[in-house]
Structure 1
Amino acid sequence: MAVENVLKLAQENNIEWFDFRFVDLSGRAHHISLPASEVDEDTFLNGVAFDGSSIPGFRGIEESDMVMMPDPESVFIDAFTAHPTLNIMCNIFTPDGERYERDPRGIAEKAEEYLQTSGVGTAAFFAPESEFFIFDDVRYQSDVNVSSYSVDSNEAFWNTNRKEDGGNLGFKIRKKGGYVPVAPVDSQQDIRSEMCRLLEEAGLRIERHHHEVATAGQAEINFRFDTLKLTADNLMKYKYIVHNTAQQYGKTATFMPKPLFGDNGSGMHVHQSIFDGDTPLFYEKGAYANLSEMALHYLGGILYHAPALIALTNPSTNSFKRLVPGYEAPVNLVFSKGNRSAAVRIPIASVTPKGCRIEFRTPDSTANPYLAFSAMLMAGLDGIKKKMDPRELGYGPFDKNIYELPEEDKVGIRSVPASLEEALDELEKDFDFLLEGDVFTADFIQNYISFKRAEAKDVAIRVHPHEFSLYYDC
């Protein structure tokens, strides 16, 4: 959308505020609002100043001045503000006009530019399946003398005997029993439909929504694929709208991977493919899962670099509470057609040539989407460049339920790292593929590793409530 069209849109909708947004290393959005009377074409040329030293992982106080440069293609009207507001995603620049190398959205742009100059294709398409929980109550505390959390949901199986106003009406969701039941067991049809309505108003094309496997309000909404940066923008809109719709309903939504012990966690399965113009490059009729050699090399790169990638696609300590066998978590670094126990699945149901794709099932929504999608693309392109054949590298195909294989048959199957620290160790050893085309820089990687190690240490040094169960009577 041209700048003049953005200003026209604002005028036609009586916009009072322009909300300029950017994304930090963790994938959280930040914003500064300007009155509509103060926004003109010069604002889009000169940007909006902000203090980069107040954003964790950005810059020191001695070089804190930074500039948000608005992207007029990213605008959408905010559905949650009392005063009409137009939201705009921004890229980050230094005051001298240089692209800031630690800007996640800028990295996504560079990844797309690298693809186009590589000669492989013209566009990479991504489609994340970002699962989440809708709770009725959440409480947590971490202090010198207390460490606790509690979540609750009217749907949860542990509430079958709870006294409720008007009586307990039953119809709770059993543990691991939440996959697509109808109402009244699924009590969240309307809130998900409202989320979808608002997402469509914000420009996303919704494909479907449903209840997910876990008890206590696990949900999934699927939106249409798009190019790398635009899909990351859409995922930021998605999380914003999910969080705020839940808040309006008096509920709370979380994309935390594992808020419940003993039930399924929330993942972000990422579908991806490459096109050359209108021609899909991942399709070859009659091949295994109708997958082209290029697609096999791409997924070979994903699996080869997966231990390092996971530091970017599963970047929280909680991520590794989900990545354990037995809860549909894809911990095995192999590929397969239609097999949800493999880290890389090739969907085969109702797939057209243009719909032919791979699905990396390991990631979760604590990932910064700009960084995660860029890193996956770079790993895949490295696989194409080096012709990494996953069959020769021992990554499959495995068309059996890997969870149920005898231990002797699992010999040689690599698993994901067991912790965030292990994933960061892997990234420290294997990041050269991310530096191609200056998409990521060594400075960014080193800063990111330090930033995430600090998070891991914060968790590791704290007393865990379960330790009282294990050791208090020692």
Structure 2
Amino acid sequence: MSVQNVLNTIKENNIQFVDFRFVDLAGRAHHITLPSTEVEAETFVNGVAFDGSSITGFRGIESSDMVMIPDTETAYIDPFTAHPTLIIMSNIHTPEGERYDRDPRSIAQKAEEYLQTTGIGTTAFFAPESEFFIFDDVRYESGMNKSYFEVDSEEAAWNTGRKEEGGNLGFKVPVKGGYVPVQPVDSQQDIRSEMVKVMQESGLRVERHHHEVSTAGAGEINFRFDTLTKTADNLLKYKYIVHNVANQYGKVATFMPKPLFGDNGSGMHVHMSIFNGDSPLFYEKGAYANLSPLAMHYMGGILHHAPALIALTNPSTNSFKRLVPGYEAPVNLVFSKGNRSAAVRIPIAAVTPKGCRIEFRTPDSTANPYLCFAAMLLAGLDGIKRKIDPVALGYGPFDTNIYHLSDEEKREIRSVPGTLDEALNALEADYEFLTEGDVFTKDFIDNYVAVKRKEAQAVAVRIHPHEYELYFGC
């Protein structure tokens, strides 16, 4: 969409405000809103100023002036505002006009540009499956003398005996019993359908939605794949719509990886493939899972760099509450066709040459999608350049249920890091593949690690409620 087309959209739809957005280090959107009367062609050249010192991980107060340069291709009408508003994503530049090297969206674009310089292919496609929970109530507090959280859902397994409903109607979702039941067990069919409707009206091509495995409102909506940066843009739009439709229903949605103890969490399985023009590069008929040697090397790069990648794909302390055995979480760094207990799965059902892809199942939605997708692409490209053979390195294939292997057999399988600190250590030890083509800078990585270390420390020093149960009577 050209600048003129955006200006025409503003006029034709009686748009009153234009919402310019950018994304921070954690992947959360921020916005500054201008009356549409103040938006001119020059706005898209000169940009919109903001204070970078107020955004975690950006700039100090002594050099805080930053500029948003809008990307007109991302424009869509906000489905939630009372006054007609147009949303436009932006890249971050310095006041001197240079692309800011800590801007996650610019990093994603640089990864796409780097792919084209390698001669390997022209386009990388990504498709995330971002899961979430919808709760009816959430309460939490972390203070000097108390620490707790409590969530509730009308369909939760713990509410089979609840009397406060005005008559308990049953049909609760059992623990690990929530995968694709029909109504009335699936109490959130209509709210997810409303989310899909709003997504479609906002330009997303949605493929399906369903209830997920966990009790208490676990859900998933899948939108169609696209190129790296566009998919990251779409994921921000997706999360914005899920959060706000839930709010309209008097509920609250969360993409937190592990909001409940004792049941499955929320992952973000990411499907990837590379094309050269219109030609898919991951397909070779008759090979293992119909994967080409190039695809196998790409997968080798993902698995080889996985401990470092996980600092970007699973960047929260809560991520590692999900990455434990027994809850369908992909903790084993191996590959398999169709096997969901492996970190990398190759889908084989109803797959065409153009649909041939690999699925990295470890990530979750606390990841900044621009950084997450860029890092995975760079890891895969490194695997192609170095011809990393995942079979020779012992990464598989493992076509049996890994959770049923003996302890001795499991010891032969490399696992994901056990904590955020371990993942950050791995990133500090293995980051050179990210700096290829100057996609990530060493300054960015050092700054990112410092920010995430503070998060890990903030959790580590706080008293956990379960410690009272374990140790109060010592």
* TM-score of the two chains, using structure 2 as the length reference: 1.00
2:417 corresponds in structure 1 to 417
2:393 corresponds in structure 1 to 393
Q: Report the residue type matching 2:155 in the other structure.
A: E
Q: State the Cα distance separating 1:407 from its structure 2 match.
A: 1.3
Q: State the Cα distance separating 1:137 from its structure 2 match.
A: 0.2
Aligned-partner Cα distance in 2 for 1:348–1:274: 17
Aligned-partner Cα distance in 2 for 1:413–1:460: 28
Deviations 1:405-460 (A, max 9, x none): 01122232100000000000000000000000000000000000000000000000
Deviations 1:123-168 (A, max 9, x none): 0000000000000000000000010000000000110111134310
Aligned-partner Cα distance in 1 for 2:419–2:459: 12
Q: Report the residue type matching 2:126 in the other structure.
A: F
Matched, 1:163 2:163: yes
Q: What SS does the aligned partner of 2:67 have?
A: strand
Identity of aligned residues (%): 76
Q: State the Cα distance separating 1:401 from its structure 2 match.
A: 0.3
2:317 corresponds in structure 1 to 317
Aligned-partner Cα distance in 1 for 2:166–2:135: 21
1:331 corresponds in structure 2 to 331
Q: What SS does the aligned partner of 1:340 have?
A: coil
Q: How does 1:73-472 map onto structure 2 within 5 Å? A: 73-472=73-472
Aligned-partner Cα distance in 2 for 1:410–1:470: 30
Q: State the Cα distance separating 1:12 from its structure 2 match.
A: 1.0
Q: What SS does the aligned partner of 1:145 have?
A: coil
Q: What SS does the aligned partner of 2:444 have?
A: helix
Structure 1 residues 159-168 or 81-90, which shifts more?
159-168
2:40 corresponds in structure 1 to 40
1:16 corresponds in structure 2 to 16
Q: Report the residue type matching 2:422 in the other structure.
A: E
Aligned-partner Cα distance in 1 for 2:409–2:442: 39
Deviations 1:307-330 (A, max 9, x none): 000000000000000000000000
Aligned-partner Cα distance in 2 for 1:410–1:462: 33
Q: Report the residue type matching 1:257 in the other structure.
A: P
Aligned-partner Cα distance in 1 for 2:10–2:318: 41
1:65 corresponds in structure 2 to 65
Structure 1 residues 266-275 or 162-171, which shifts more?
162-171
Please tell me the root mean square deviation across aligned C-alpha atoms, in Å.
Answer: 0.5
Q: Report the residue type matching 1:305 in the other structure.
A: H
Q: What SS does the aligned partner of 1:41 have?
A: coil
Q: State the Cα distance separating 1:382 from its structure 2 match.
A: 0.1
Aligned-partner Cα distance in 2 for 1:228–1:29: 18
Aligned-partner Cα distance in 2 for 1:253–1:304: 34
Aligned-partner Cα distance in 2 for 1:146–1:7: 53
Aligned-partner Cα distance in 1 for 2:164–2:214: 22
Q: State the Cα distance separating 1:50 from its structure 2 match.
A: 0.2
Aligned-partner Cα distance in 1 for 2:151–2:120: 47
Aligned-partner Cα distance in 1 for 2:460–2:97: 40
Aligned-partner Cα distance in 2 for 1:451–1:201: 37
Deviations 1:223-245 (A, max 9, x none): 00000000000000000000000
Q: What SS does the aligned partner of 1:302 have?
A: helix
Deviations 1:111-130 (A, max 9, x none): 00000111010000000000
Q: Report the residue type matching 2:113 in the other structure.
A: E
Aligned-partner Cα distance in 1 for 2:120–2:202: 32
Q: State the Cα distance separating 1:30 from its structure 2 match.
A: 0.3
Q: Report the residue type matching 2:178 in the other structure.
A: G
Q: Report the residue type matching 1:318 in the other structure.
A: N
Q: Report the residue type matching 2:314 in the other structure.
A: N
Q: What SS does the aligned partner of 1:453 have?
A: helix
Deviations 1:347-395 (A, max 9, x none): 0000000000000000000000000000000000000000001000110
Aligned-partner Cα distance in 2 for 1:16–1:465: 49
Q: State the Cα distance separating 1:61 from its structure 2 match.
A: 0.5
* TM-score of the two chains, using structure 1 as the length reference: 1.00
Q: State the Cα distance separating 1:202 from its structure 2 match.
A: 1.2
Q: State the Cα distance separating 1:13 from its structure 2 match.
A: 0.9
Q: State the Cα distance separating 1:201 from its structure 2 match.
A: 1.1
Structure 2: gaps (5+ residues) = none
Q: Report the residue type matching 1:430 in the other structure.
A: D
Q: Report the residue type matching 2:387 in the other structure.
A: K
Q: What SS does the aligned partner of 1:424 have?
A: helix
Q: Report the residue type matching 2:289 in the other structure.
A: A
Aligned-partner Cα distance in 2 for 1:316–1:370: 16
Aligned-partner Cα distance in 2 for 1:202–1:394: 45
Aligned-partner Cα distance in 2 for 1:165–1:157: 14
Deviations 1:20-72 (A, max 9, x none): 00000000100000000000100001000000000000000010000000000
Structure 1 residues 210-219 or 401-410, which shifts more?
401-410
